[in-house]
Structures are given as structure tokens and as C-alpha cells.
Amino acid sequence: MSMTVTTDALSAEERDAILQAVREFASTRLAPNALDWDRRKHFPRDVLVEAGELGLGGIYISEDVGGSGLSRQDAAAIFEALAMGDPTIAAYVSIHNMVAWMIDTNGTDAQRREWLPRLVTMRDLGAYCLTEPGAGSDAAAITTSAIPDGDEYVLTGVKQFISGAGEASVYVVMARTDPSTGSGNGGAKGITAFLVPADAPGLSFGPNEQKMGWNAQPTRQVILDEVRVPASAILGELGGGFRIAMKGLNGGRVNIAACSLGGAQWALDRAVRYVHERFTFGEALSERQSVVFTLADMATELTAARALVRDAARAIDEGAPDVAVQCAMAKRFATDAGFEVANRALQLHGGYGYLQEYGIEKVVRDLRVHQILEGTNEIMRVIIGRGVVEA
């Protein structure tokens, strides 16, 4: 079924039907293949196209360009359901949706018509290029330059840790258009977003990074060597790129938090099943109070995290003034809780949890990076702390 709806809000029945379709997709197309894709470092383009057919390539993208037009609250539930099949693929779908949202929200009509009908199908993919080798948490310190030359801009620089690099059709690249700015000198004001097509001369990619997890999606450097794009490739306003980046990351943080919930819930479900099946010293592990207490804590932390994610998604939908703080809280708490729950699930499995065939260790590896990307959890504390102090 397609997820596109024509009403302003979903009924409970419509929402349940959509989530059931996503769960079925996750359980039949992602989960049975997740370990193999991880082992082979295989990026399943064909399965992503199937996801696009379901409406997952434009979950909260406008319907006039083929998007599903759903709310961020619906999207969070969808990403959680997807991640129960494979956190790696769910996370990439979330990044792809963030790129599409940036174009949908900030693009001209021509940009939206050029890219979004292709992106929502997931036959064409998107990538987001902010981080650089020397600029991660201090995003305003990027040095990639965009120098005007007639009616074109010449982009030069290197982007680091880019999901989908080498596979995407369009790259949202943050570059410095005001060379007088830099870190500590109003650097955020001098950054502009550009749409760079994959076939642009001078665009190349580094080797696929050898990572702890997320092996089923490519992560490479994006190298811009005097890449020329027309002025019409500017996304939003000149000098407005940092605002686009930060607003995009609010949603990205909620999305990745939801992916942590899904992966951790899967691990918890497996742990519950295992402690019923595993007997030691004459009784099931589920009869031991210490095990029951561990499961109780795991379930409580996920329920609390889910509430924070739900509230942050609602804050985005409603344009709440403290949206950045709520998204940071959800991301910090849910990704920490998700990793800890998955790690405890591995411990409850004992030696079997350490074996690849059980799948638990993969989820642990995949969820670990969620505490780093879309802004490290230390940076989330900075955002939250500033919000508390300035309230």
C-alpha cells in the first residue's frame, strides 16, 4: 500500500494500517537480509526502491511532488518500525528524508520539481554534506568554499562521514560563501547550501570507510575539486545554509532517536524470548529476580525514551519555540538508552549474544554511532543546558 493520504490528519485506523504495512516490510524485506548485508557491506538499492514504492522516500514531503505528507509524529513511529528490521537501512532512509525535506522546504519551485519526484521514489537518493575532517561538532568552522565566478559558484573542499556518498544523485553541500567569516567570527552567517548533482565535474569520493557498524550503507568522503554549479543551485538564501542545516538536524535527531528505539526494542524482544528458553541451575533465566529487574529497567528506559521522541516530534509539527531543546533531549536520551538496552540484551544472551548469527551484536554495533551522529550527545547536553540557563 502507499502511505500517501489526502487528509490533514490521519485517523487512528489509517495510522495503524500504515504502521502495519511498514512493520510487514521491515520483517519480510529487511530483517531476513540484515545480517547478510552487514557481512557483505551491501547497500540494497533494490530494496530501497521497494521502500519508495511504499512511500518511505518522502514520508513528510509534500504531496504535490509525490510525497506522503505525513506528520513528524507519524514519521517517528515509522522509523522505529523500520529499525526493528534493520537499524542501518532505517537510518539511511531517515537521512534521505532529511535531504528531501531540506529541498521541499527551502527549494524553489524549479528545484522541488527537478529533484523531489525522483527522490521520493528512492530510485534517486540524497546525501547531506556538512561535516568536514576538521569540523564536526563545531559545524560553523567548515572551510569548504564557494567562490562566485560570473553566474556560477566554484566549490572546493572535503566533506567527511557522508552517508550514501557515491550512491546519491544529489548532494546538499554546505559551503562558505563569505570568506571573511569563520569559526568564532560569525562563521554561521557565511554558510550557504548548494544542490550538487552527482555528475558534476570535479566531484569525487573517497573509499568506503571501514566502520564498526552501519555496514550496509556506504560512508565516504565527498571531495569537491573546483566543482562548478550555477547560482540557481543555491538552496534557500545566500548565507542561509547554517539555518537550513540546524533546522534539518532537529528532525534528523528525532529520526535517529526513533531508529535507536526500534533497534533496542528488537533486542529487548529477543532477550525476553531468550530468558524464557534458557535454563541454568535447573530453572529458566526468567525466574531469576536479577534478570527480571534488568528487563524491567530496559522496558522502562525505552518507554521513557519513546515519550521524549513523541513529544519532540510533536514540537516540530507545532513549531514549538523550544523545539531545538526538545529534539536534543530526545536524541540524547533515546540514543543512550537504545545502546544500553541493546548492550544489556547482549549480556543476557551470554556468549550467544556475542555471536553474529544471533543478530544482537550487530544491533549493538549499529546503535553505537547514534550517540555520535546528528550532533554528539555531548553537544546535545550543550544545547539542553543553554536552554535551561537561558529560560
* Residues that are catalytic: 374
256, 94 Cβ separation under 8 angstroms: yes
Dist. CA 36–CA 40, nearest whole Å: 6
290, 367 Cβ separation under 8 angstroms: no
Half-sphere exposure of 370 (CA within 13 A, CB side): 38
To which residue does cell 521520493 refer?
A: 120
DSSP structural state of residue 369:
G
Dist. CA 129–CA 244, nearest whole Å: 12
Dist. CA 326–CA 109, nearest whole Å: 31
Dist. CA 217–CA 88, nearest whole Å: 7
> Torsions phi, psi of 71, nearest 5?
-85, 165
Nearby residues of 250 by Cβ (< 8 Å), 6 or more positions away = 316, 323, 324, 327
DSSP calls for 133-201: TTBSS-GGG---EEEEETTEEEEEEEEEEEETTTT-SEEEEEEES-TT--TTTTGGGGEEEEEEETT-T
47, 115 Cβ separation under 8 angstroms: no
Dist. CA 233–CA 297, nearest whole Å: 50
Cα dihedral sign, 274-278-280-282: positive
